[in-house]
Amino acid sequence: DYRNGGYHEVFIGDVLNQQYKVCHKLGWGHFSTVWLCEILDSRRSPFPNKFVAIKIVRSQPNYTKAAKEEISMLKTITECDKENSNHVSHLLDFFSVTGRNGTHHCLVFETLGLNILNLLRLYDPTSLPQETFSVMYRTFPRIYGVPQPIVKLICIQTLRALHYLHSPPISLIHTDLKPENILLEWPVVFCIDDRQGIKNADAFFGDCNPDHDIHRHSKFKKYRIKLSDFGNSIHSPESGMAVLEKGPHAHSLLFQKPPYPPHRIQTRQYRAPESILGCTPSPGTDLWSFGCMAFELVTGRVLFNPRGKGEGDLEWNDGYDDQDDNSAYDRDDDHLTLVKAILHTDPPEKLLNAGFWSEDLFDIFTRQQRRGIKRKERELADLIMGWTKVEKELIIQQKQIDINQPNARELIYPTPVLQFEAFLLKCLTWSPVDRYSAFELLNDDWLKLTTDDYEFDGLNLIQSTTNPPSPPKRPKHRYQSGF
């Protein structure tokens, strides 16, 4: 992709805009590459930082246009966050460079640390030492994600960022919320090789040892994040606030079929049903992605990873290649079937009527999906536990639980799992108007840190007393799907 219209060719040591010396690659996305740069003459520089992160956007006209919009939105986001308290990344400067592949916009940000996908990889059980693995996963042996106290901190801060973004005067919808776009505020930055994970991590900022620093920073009180990548953000419809407060106006606005085909928004695995159907996006659209992400952080598995023809494979960062072209159904068909399999209801008529593409996906008379494979109904709590139907039956048998008694679920599942399920179901509703807002979710019980959480001290506090179970075998895919 380093060709005409693509990424800008950058070499370590290059000097950008006569003041930023390129030191290291920090990351990349569908739109850009991001580089750690040293400020050459920091006395002349208007900001106190010694290093900055520079996002160099691809040169194709659509990317350039998007970059201009990103700059204008970032200006407002940065200016209105004077106290730096809303967990959003700040723009410091911008300029453009011209190279062999065209002219590229460059956005200068404060330097942040790992993104949350890198963090998930650190906690991948197959990459952990046996002992650590057994300590972390003793209580809920099938939950392999990031430890829950840390997930809660990430969730709280992400919700604060979303609340800030969704409310006036900003009134934006992020439309690409996913682990790659949330960054840790660690002072240490690692460059992670996509395939090798942390083992080959190349640490810099002094001579820190990556293992050492990960452990030091795993004290969860230090976890601070910032929401970033506003390259796909859009303005809320005029009545953004009405939509946020879910007034009657919100209903009429959200349930109006757009007159022209809407843009495809969100990355496949985090895409809300209304986006699949082609309805007008709303702040609630971000909350769906948030729910999918929270599930992934806790379990280490992707909640919805639909199969079929069409865009959305996990193997590539933003997934636009490697399509399953021989299938008789589209990825959209399977995606909606998967949603139905955990919500146990059909999409409401109002929502279908408001979707530009609904008729391609659903028969308008029977209201049934036109294509798709059958998917078994699943309980969200089972997906959280990583239980198959058979495994769940076994647990019920072993514990001799009568599933007809009213509190059966409380006997089957641990309380935190039921709390987490309830939390997720506030984000995962067919209709965006039924979803909780970021602000409302901040009051949820699951998010409240308990005394147990405070005693949690990263990877190495609790000592294992039982024989360590062996780490599970992992599929070759980035993560196993929830289903």
Verify binding: residue 29, ligand ADP, rule CB under 6 A.
Answer: yes
Closest CB to ligand ADP among residues 182, 339: 182
The span from the CA of 68 to the CA of 87, in Å, is: 22
Report in angstroms how near the CB of residue 294 gets to ligand ADP at its nearest.
Answer: 18
Report in angstroms how near the CB of residue 31 gets to Mg ion at its nearest.
Answer: 7
| Partners of residue 52 on adjacent β-strands | 37, 110
Contacts of 85 (CB under 8 A, 6+ apart): none
Residues of this chain, 50-109, that bind ligand ADP according to CB under 6 A? 53, 55, 89, 109
Residue 482's alpha-carbon distances to 74, 306, 386, in angstroms, are: 34, 10, 7
Beta strand extents in 114-179 (DSSP E only): 172-173
Contact pick of 101, 181, 218, 236 for Mg ion (by CB under 5 A):
181
Contacts of 320 (CB under 8 A, 6+ apart): 30, 311
Contact pick of 7, 28, 446, 483 for ligand ADP (by CB under 6 A):
28
- Where does this chain touch ligand ADP (CB under 6 A) — which range of 31-39, 93-101, 151-159, 308-316? 31-39
Report in angstroms how near the CB of residue 179 gets to ligand ADP at its nearest.
Answer: 9
Contact pick of 10, 16, 22, 26 for ligand ADP (by CB under 6 A):
26
Strand order across the 51-57 sheet: 15-16, 20-28, 32-39, 51-57, 102-110, 91-99
Distance in angstroms between the alpha carbons of the first and the last residue of the chain: 33
Residue 323's alpha-carbon distances to 30, 181, 278, 331, 483, in angstroms, are: 17, 24, 21, 9, 20
- What phi-psi label fits residue 65: left (phi over 0), alpha (psi between -120 and 50 degrees) or beta? alpha
Verify binding: residue 29, Mg ion, rule CB under 5 A.
Answer: yes
Contact pick of 16, 56, 180, 301 for ligand ADP (by CB under 6 A):
180
Report in angstroms how near the CB of residue 205 gets to ligand ADP at its nearest.
Answer: 11
Give the binding-site size for ligand ADP (rule: CB under 6 A). 21
Site string for ligand ADP, 203-242 (x = CB under 6 A): -------------------------xx-x-----------
Closest CB to Mg ion among residues 181, 275: 181
Q: Are 213 and 198 in contact (CB under 8 A)?
A: no
Q: Tokens 């730096």 belong to which residue?
A: 84
- Where does this chain touch ligand ADP (CB under 6 A) — which range of 7-15, 20-28, 203-211, 359-367? 20-28
Residues of this chain, 107-146, that bind ligand ADP according to CB under 6 A? 109, 111-112, 115
- Where does this chain touch ligand ADP (CB under 6 A) — which range of 29-37, 160-168, 210-218, 237-245? 29-37
The span from the CA of 13 to the CA of 40, in Å, is: 11
Buried b (16+ CB within 10 A) or exposed e, 365-389: eeeebebbeebeebbbbbbbbbbee
Contact pick of 229, 274, 286, 379 for Mg ion (by CB under 5 A):
229
Over 263-280, what HEC string results?
CCCCCHHHCCHHHHHCCC
- Where does this chain touch ligand ADP (CB under 6 A) — which range of 27-35, 279-287, 350-358, 472-480? 27-35
* Residue 53 partner contact from ligand ADP, Mg ion, none using kind-dependent CB cut-offs of 5 to 8 Å: ligand ADP
The span from the CA of 310 to the CA of 290, in Å, is: 23
Report in angstroms how near the CB of residue 27 gets to Mg ion at its nearest.
Answer: 8
Residue 146's alpha-carbon distances to 14, 119, 122, 176, 308, in angstroms, are: 37, 8, 9, 21, 29
DSSP category for residue 219: S
Q: Which of 1, 81, 176, 402 is catalytic?
A: 176
Closest residue to ligand ADP, Cβ-based? 29
Report in angstroms how near the CB of residue 455 gets to ligand ADP at its nearest.
Answer: 31
324 is catalytic: no
Verify binding: residue 27, ligand ADP, rule CB under 6 A.
Answer: yes
Residues lying near Mg ion in the complex (CB under 5 A) are found at 29, 181, 229
Catalytic residues: 176
Contacts to ligand ADP by CB under 6 A: 26-32, 34, 53, 55, 89, 109, 111-112, 115, 180-181, 183, 228-229, 231
